[in-house]
Chain A
Amino acid sequence: MKFPRPSAPTLLLLPAFIVLAAVVVVPLLLSLWSSFTPFRLTKPDSIWIFVGLRNYANLLSDWEFWVAFGRTVLLLTVALNLEMLLGLGLAVLVEKASRGQRVLRTIMMFPMMFSPILVGFQFKFMFNDNIGLVNNALQALGLTDRAIPWLIDGNLAFIAILVAEVWLSTAVFAIFILAGLMAMPREPMEAARVDGCTPWQTFRYVTWPFVMPFAFIAMTIRSLDIARAYDIVKIMTDGGPAKRTELLWTLIARTGYADSRMGMANAMSYFAIILSIVFTFYFFRKLAAARQQIGAEW
């Protein structure tokens, strides 16, 4: 039996197709399929039972899931805004430094050099209600005489996680915005000073519009980061106390591995991905608009 000989382009592209299929497409289809089944890791055969949209229907009325979803969005919003403000401040300060700027830039990036897991451990220790640095410092300064239950109270734990997240990643914003500031031509700022701007007005009307696209790039990256936040929360609170700090991915991981309800976990994942796509889409549109505004040539 003779096969027709495939054309050269087909042959050359084939390896890439095979690798992509094996690594991306097949797992993706498998996970999508499993989200339509009651698949449990403990009962491998259950992957063959098709239940249609039951998992998704259950999710829609699953209060716990939507709370985790909302909390993730809240963390994302608050952390992004805080990081942007702090990063902007940091970048402006570093840009002003007339000497030692290289050293400052390097120091600024230190937090990014640590594994989020270790950062989680470190902040877990610092926020410990008995031996933690934070409570000790507050008590030593006489600001409080009791042990504040940082990681035990649900709201405080959220704040503690937020602090760790912001500490770890503010540098991302600082670096992008600093790059923007350094790429910015000096003359428009001087023109603004001559045109009658105070330093604040110069920043508001000239510097900020120029730096904005850089901030949006950082926003896009960080929104993806936070939407998949897992490690710091896993270490600091593991979604506790009583699921008061549960985020999307801690919930998904718990559902998939601890409860071994993989079909349901996969259904949740598809919702989570929609969240990421929405944010990425939103920031990319803002970025494109901002770039067009300054007539950027990149």
Chain B
Amino acid sequence: MATVTLRKLEKRYGATPVVHGIDLEVADREFIALVGPSGCGKSTTLRMIAGLEDISGGEIRIGGRTVNDLPPRSRNISMVFQSYALYPHMTVRENMGFSLKIAGRSQAEIDKAVAEAASMLSLEQLLERRPSQLSGGQRQRVAMGRAIVRRPEVFLFDEPLSNLDAKLRSQVRTEIKKLHARMQTTMVYVTHDQVEAMTLSDRIVIMRDGHIEQVGTPEEVFRRPATRFVAGFIGSPPMNLQEALVYDGALAFSGGATLPIPPEFRNQVTAGQKVVFGLRPDDIFPAGHGLHSGDAAAVHTVELPIAITEPLGNETLVFADFDGREWVSRMLNPKPLKPGEKIAMSLDLGRAHLFDADTGRTLRK
């Protein structure tokens, strides 16, 4: 059981910084996901926690102990790799028992631990196989089994589902979630897939260019994104974002359209301020085909021409033209719409977001 603390953690390759002094506190037994686009430094951060990369500055503490200069083997961690990283010449049983064998445990102890992990991941039938005789999903389960057997203080996952196809991915995702519920161990999980991050974690860390943009629960980062980047990154389809000017008590868009200032932000903006207006597809819908946040007064209706529709069965994604830009809206209880048709769209401004156009930070207090 352990906390993980990063203080001013830095990584430079030569003169090029890739992680810029990040701070993070992972609580004991917490499942935390590091998420961000490729090259944001999330994998590097994880590898620094594992001890596979040297750190260029700052401090890493695991369970209150500074581990900056400790080799991976002394950190009491387990890691699951994207490419599984199984030992090709060992059977599943040997792969899983390897760390205990190295640690000099007795054969009886190893057998017991392996059997336990194997039953947890339903690998009993595969114990005598070699990795080359397993499918991708099975290999990843073995990699997880190998990590479990060690009974580490912290589990590290480096994009463990990226090499799996979509169906397997959701299966293994569920298994990871069960695993966390059962093991009650601190887990740090790196992914570029926001769905994995949202579904699995207690808290999400969103990274960009070696900085942390926001740390929060899935609910927080979705409902109250701290920056424009987070707003665009979390959520699918992504939030509609458009620049506007605060003018005459309203938001004026470059094409001439205007919207009222969302109620939450009325006192946060000043006339002449450049802002970015954001509204999720769920919060803009053909009138009568969606749910608003509860404040009916905040719902604003405009007539918009339909560009295209993507029916998904239970709902339809409607692409409508707003001030020269295509906005995505989610239509519940869909009815057929024709491209070019003008329909009344409800904009739930009670759920709208405003960001400073220069800094990208939210204007919400």
Contacts and interface: CB of A to CB of B under 8 A. Distances in A.
A48 to B, nearest CB: 58
Nearest to B85: A187
B86 interface: yes
A205 interface: yes
B132 A194 contact: no
Interface string B71-105: 11100011101011111110000000011001100
Interface string B15-38: 000000000000000000000000
A185 B132 CA distance: 14
A194 B88 CA distance: 17
Interface stretch (A122-130, A196-204, A229-237): A196-204
Most B C-beta atoms less than 10 A away, residue of A185, A195, A293: A195
Nearest to A206: B87
B175 to A, nearest CB: 19
Given A190-B85, A194-B52, 18 more contacts: A190-B72, A191-B79, A191-B81, A192-B87, A192-B98, A193-B51, A193-B71, A193-B72, A194-B77, A196-B99, A197-B102, A209-B87, A210-B88, A210-B89, A293-B88, A293-B130, A294-B88, A295-B131
A194 B79 contact: yes
Interface in A172-198: 185, 187-188, 190-198
A254 B87 CA distance: 52
Contact of B150 (A185, A195, A206, A210): A195
B73 A191 contact: no
B132 to A, nearest CB: 3
A148 to B, nearest CB: 46
Given A188-B88, A294-B88, A194 B83 contact: no
A195 B102 contact: yes
Contact of B103 (A190, A191, A196, A295): A196
Contacts of A191: 79, 81, 85-87, 146
A290 to B, nearest CB: 8
A274 B78 CA distance: 52
A193 B52 contact: yes
A293 B73 CA distance: 26
Contacts of A209: 87, 89
B230 interface: no
Contacts of B84: 187
Interface of B: 50-52, 71-73, 77-79, 81, 83-89, 98-99, 102-103, 130-133, 146, 150
B158 to A, nearest CB: 9
B98 A295 contact: no
A287 to B, nearest CB: 14
Interface in A111-166: none
- Per CB-CB distance, the 10 closest pairs between chain A and chain B, nearest first, are A295-B132, A187-B85, A195-B99, A191-B85, A196-B73, A209-B89, A293-B89, A193-B72, A294-B88, A194-B79
Nearest to B78: A194
> Is chain A's binding surface mostly helix, strand, loop or mixed?
helix
Contact of B85 (A185, A210, A297): A185
A195 B72 CA distance: 8
Contacts of B79: 190-191, 194
Contact of A295 (B81, B130, B146): B130
Given A198-B73, A205-B98, A295-B131, A187 B83 contact: yes
25 contacts: A190-B79, A190-B81, A192-B87, A192-B98, A193-B72, A194-B51, A194-B52, A194-B72, A194-B77, A195-B98, A195-B102, A196-B73, A196-B150, A201-B102, A205-B87, A206-B87, A209-B87, A210-B88, A293-B130, A294-B88, A295-B88, A295-B130, A295-B131, A295-B133, A297-B132
A201 to B, nearest CB: 6
Nearest to B75: A194
B133 to A, nearest CB: 8
A195 B132 CA distance: 21
A205 B97 CA distance: 13
Among A191, A193, A295, A297, the most chain B Cβ lie within 10 Å of the Cβ of A191
Contacts of A193: 51-52, 71-73
A205 B101 CA distance: 11
A294 B73 contact: no
Contacts of B150: 195-196
A185, A188, A201, most chain B CB atoms within 10 A: A188
Nearest to A189: B85
A185 B73 contact: no
> Which of A187, A194, A209 has the most chain B CB atoms inside 10 A of its CB?
A194
Given A196-B102, A205-B98, A190 B52 contact: yes
A195 B89 contact: no
Given A187-B83, A194-B73, A196-B99, A294 B52 contact: no
B153 to A, nearest CB: 13
Contacts of B98: 192, 195, 205
A195 B81 contact: no
B77 to A, nearest CB: 6
A295 B131 CA distance: 8
Interface string A258-298: 00000000000000000000000000000000000111010
A291 to B, nearest CB: 10
A193 B77 CA distance: 11
Nearest to A197: B102
A297 B133 CA distance: 12
Contacts of B77: 194
A80 B4 CA distance: 51
A255 to B, nearest CB: 47
A88 to B, nearest CB: 17
Contacts of A188: 85-88
A293 B88 CA distance: 7
Nearest to B76: A196
A191 B156 CA distance: 11
Q: Looking at B52, B84, B85, B99, which has the most chain A CB atoms within 10 Å of its CB? A: B85
A208 to B, nearest CB: 10
A179 to B, nearest CB: 17
